[in-house]
Structure 1
Amino acid sequence: MYRRLQVTRVAKPDGAAASEARKWTSMKSKTIETPNSVTALAINPGADAEILCTTGTRVRLLSIPSFAFLRNVLSLRHSMQCAAFRADGGLIVSGDSVGSVRISNPANRSVLKRMDVHTSPVTAVGFVGYTPFSVGRDGSLVLWDMELG
């Protein structure tokens, strides 16, 4: 047995909703090819147009307007898994596939501190204020006290 359904039409968006809908339908996309898969992205809160991208053994800085790689921030032996900017954009924390965490200065590409605490790949990193933290696949979450060393 069949039953006829009543079809109700949705009203067209008006005003701000219509302009928002037009904006999204007219959007174009750009693509950057990388030799390795991208494992993480982080937006620099200290600069309007920079994204940190981990791909293979590198941490790279990407320009949003030109959508081009600006420079390598780190180039290491092991596959990078995650990275994050500090709130002021002055430092980067990154984690790799063997459990190492690095604090780096993106301006001069120097590694300020390397910490080997995780026994498996680092899955997430970040900053709580000015204090870095890391999470490993081994189930440990480490909040780093930089004053203790």
Structure 2
Amino acid sequence: MLLTGCRKRELLDARWEEVNLEKKVWRIPTSKTGKPRHVPLSEDAIAVLNAIPRFDRCPFIVPNPESRKPFLSIYHSWDTARRSAQLADVRMHDLRHSAASNLVNSGQSLYVVAKVLGHSQTRTTERYAHLDASVFLGSGPIDVRAAI
């Protein structure tokens, strides 16, 4: 999620057939808006995908190992991992915000970030992306909305 900016449900329902590792793209057939979108895959995202074990005749990327179907909820697993990493109050959705911020801080426009995240309006993306001024000015993080 951190490397793609996808929504939790998009990840849990993801199928191997939707990922094109050669073209480095993940086609999410139905997003929250009901429209498909294409998410570019970095080398790091591809490395994570390549490390995921596959189950015979299971189309899902991260299925429940027992049922081979998408998880209904992964709250307890996330909560355990979050606590183990000593990340107080970090939600899975925060990874989507971090992905947006990482894209903006690497020089991508809000328009591009909006397309990657599946936002129909860049105003929504502005709430997600936080510009780290130290990348450009040597100071701390600032809110993109305040920088516009």
TM-score by length of 2: 0.27
Give 1 or 2 for the bigger CA radius of gyration: 1
Structure having the higher helix fraction is: 2
Higher relative contact order (CA closer than 8 Å, sequence separation 6+): 2
